Chain A
Amino acid sequence: MANQSLNLLRRSASTDTPPVTGGQTIEVAKLIDVSKCIGCKACQSACLEWNNLREEVGVNVGVYDNPHDLTPNSWTLMRFAEWDNPDTGNFEWLIRKDGCMHCQDPGCLKACPAPGAIVQYTNGIVDFVHENCIGCAYCVKGCPFNIPRISKVDHKAYKCSLCSDRVAVGQGPACAKACPTAAIMFGTKEDMKKQAEKRIVDLKSRGYANAGLYDPAGVGGTHVMYVLHHNDKPEIYAGLPHEPKISPLVAAWKGTGKVLALGALAFAALGAFFHHTVVGPNKVSEHDEENAAELAEEGKSSKTEARPV
């Protein structure tokens, strides 16, 4: 195998998961400290460069967001939000690096019907395997953060891989390496939580009483976490969901719906088996044969009658 440090935890549309070998894997996480971000977009540059992607030159509509939204090529995007703080009267410029959150309970993986198109490693990274992708865009529906984008070129889904290829050889993601203010940190999830704790204490001492860590429990926690100065209202950071949850439609379709369908399949198979053993297959009796011969004769004669010469 190409690497030893990545083991599969889950695989889309399949119940068989290769057994985890090589002991316990450490969960990794990327910590994005919004309070330290200067919005320089080095992360965007580094991401495009590392992943051999290039973005079309776009149009400026008067905001700093460039491109305007995530695309199949831009897996990460700085979103610039302006917010009037009613408590202090300050005008705040909130810059959030958007991209895949690598949920512990990934909605995209749950929704995906293509076996092995979306995988989750034991270290927490959720990765798209494009060879298996059928381009149905169910992952877009399944994602509580609206991250995956479907390419118009090959009709497959694309998103941040948390640089799984770099992490596999013991390096951090390209964006985290480039970040000049160390607003993006990468390490074990535990270490990142400790790092966040320190930052939150610092932010609180500077008057941000609601500073906190964004690691939403609704998706089982994420492997990309934010330090927010206003953790009580994440929605002011360009619409970061307050309590992200996988859509109930996906849960019903892929949860109960799937169990019921499998039950129906099993019932049909069992029924067919018992029908075969108890009733047995249809047998053609002599009477049937005679009947058939008669009918055939009738058919022939009626045909000739119907067609006057």
Chain B
Amino acid sequence: MIGELSRRQFLRTAGAGVAGTTLGAMGFGGAEQALAQSVRPFKLAKTTETRNTCPYCSVACGILMYGVGDGSANNKQAIMHIEGDPDHPVNRGTLCPKGAALLDFVHSDTRLKYPMHRKPGSDKFERVTWEFALERIARLMKDDRDKNFVAKSKDGVTVNRWTTVGFLAASATTNETATLTYKVVRSAGIVAFDNQARV
């Protein structure tokens, strides 16, 4: 084909090309569907919205977790975005830098998902059942309390102290959970104690 193109034909075609480009530059180009192309689709369309509480600190901000997947057998649901819950009275939709980055916390490889146990002398944590964990914790606490509980001070004043164990409780709890935690811990005599109820 290209061999049959005469010099004149070539110039004619090239001229038409130049004319077209010039017309375009002067503003005669077709009105493209530029807008549809330019706006990124809203990524939360067709996602499942789930309310939860931020797990970090005891401010306990409300969060909205957005999940993709319909949960069918071959389409597991996964969280793809997290932002503040505007209806939550604590934060009214706002979040701190850690809360705003919760998505990576959820998907982190090193995130703690179940009870882990490092046996005496071992150098690594192993997964254990909740039953095992709770029983072991209860056993050790009981033994320690029996050994170190201080009912009366040197001066004979009743103090009911248990100072050899500390208790660090969750932040993302309800008022009821916090009250119960407080009652259990204080009635056992534990002094070193922190949880959400502090706030």
Interface residues of A (CB under 8 A from B): 1-3, 6-8, 11, 14-19, 40-42, 44-46, 48-50, 54, 115-116, 119, 127, 129, 131, 161, 164-166, 168-169, 174, 177-180, 182, 262, 265-266, 269
B91 within 8 A of A: yes
Contact check, B39 vs A178: say whether CB atoms are below 8 A apart.
Answer: no
Q: B86-109: which residues lie under 8 A (CB-CB) from chain A?
A: 91, 93-101, 103-104
- When C-beta atoms are compared, the residue in chain B nearest to A45 turns out to be B100
- B101's partner among A2, A45, A177 (CB-CB below 8 A) is A45
B106 to chain A, nearest CB (A): 11
Choose the segment among B27-35, B117-125, B129-137, B145-153 that binds chain A (4+ C-beta atoms closer than 8 Å).
B27-35
- B38's partner among A14, A46, A129, A179 (CB-CB below 8 A) is A129
List A contacts of B39 (CB < 8 A): 2-3, 6, 127, 164-165, 168
B24 to chain A, nearest CB (A): 8
B82 within 8 A of A: yes
Contact check, A265 vs B25: say whether CB atoms are below 8 A apart.
Answer: yes
- Name the prevailing secondary structure of the B interface residues: mixed
**Selected A-B contacts with CB under 8 Å, 22 pairs:** A6-B39, A8-B38, A16-B29, A16-B31, A18-B32, A18-B34, A19-B31, A42-B99, A42-B100, A45-B100, A49-B83, A119-B35, A129-B38, A161-B40, A164-B38, A164-B39, A165-B39, A165-B42, A178-B84, A182-B94, A262-B26, A266-B26
- When C-beta atoms are compared, the residue in chain B nearest to A52 turns out to be B43
Q: A16-B27, A166-B42, A265-B22 are in contact. Are A180 and B34 (CB under 8 A)?
A: no
Cα separation A9 to B98 with both chains bound (whole Å) = 37
Contact check, A42 vs B38: say whether CB atoms are below 8 A apart.
Answer: no
Cα separation A168 to B34 with both chains bound (whole Å) = 15
List B contacts of A166 (CB < 8 A): 42
List B contacts of A127 (CB < 8 A): 38-39
Cα separation A1 to B34 with both chains bound (whole Å) = 10
A253 to chain B, nearest CB (A): 15
B161 within 8 A of A: no
Known pairs A178-B95, A262-B26; list 16 more (Cβ under 8 Å).
Answer: A2-B39, A8-B34, A15-B26, A15-B27, A17-B31, A19-B31, A46-B83, A46-B100, A49-B82, A49-B100, A115-B29, A116-B32, A116-B38, A119-B38, A131-B37, A266-B26
List B contacts of A182 (CB < 8 A): 94
Cα separation A44 to B30 with both chains bound (whole Å) = 39
Cα separation A180 to B88 with both chains bound (whole Å) = 13
List B contacts of A44 (CB < 8 A): 97
Interface size class of B (residues with CB under 8 A): 35 or more
Contact check, A49 vs B101: say whether CB atoms are below 8 A apart.
Answer: yes
Q: B1-36: which residues lie under 8 A (CB-CB) from chain A?
A: 19, 22, 25-36
Contact check, B25 vs A40: say whether CB atoms are below 8 A apart.
Answer: no
Contact check, A8 vs B35: say whether CB atoms are below 8 A apart.
Answer: yes
List A contacts of B40 (CB < 8 A): 161, 164-165
Cα separation A69 to B67 with both chains bound (whole Å) = 33
Cα separation A164 to B42 with both chains bound (whole Å) = 9
- B97's partner among A16, A17, A42, A116 (CB-CB below 8 A) is A42
List B contacts of A266 (CB < 8 A): 22, 26
List A contacts of B81 (CB < 8 A): 49-50
Cα separation A23 to B93 with both chains bound (whole Å) = 32
Cα separation A131 to B32 with both chains bound (whole Å) = 14
B156 within 8 A of A: no
B93 to chain A, nearest CB (A): 6
Cα separation A197 to B111 with both chains bound (whole Å) = 46
List A contacts of B38 (CB < 8 A): 8, 116, 119, 127, 129, 164
Cα separation A168 to B45 with both chains bound (whole Å) = 12
List B contacts of A1 (CB < 8 A): 33, 35-36
List B contacts of A40 (CB < 8 A): 96-97
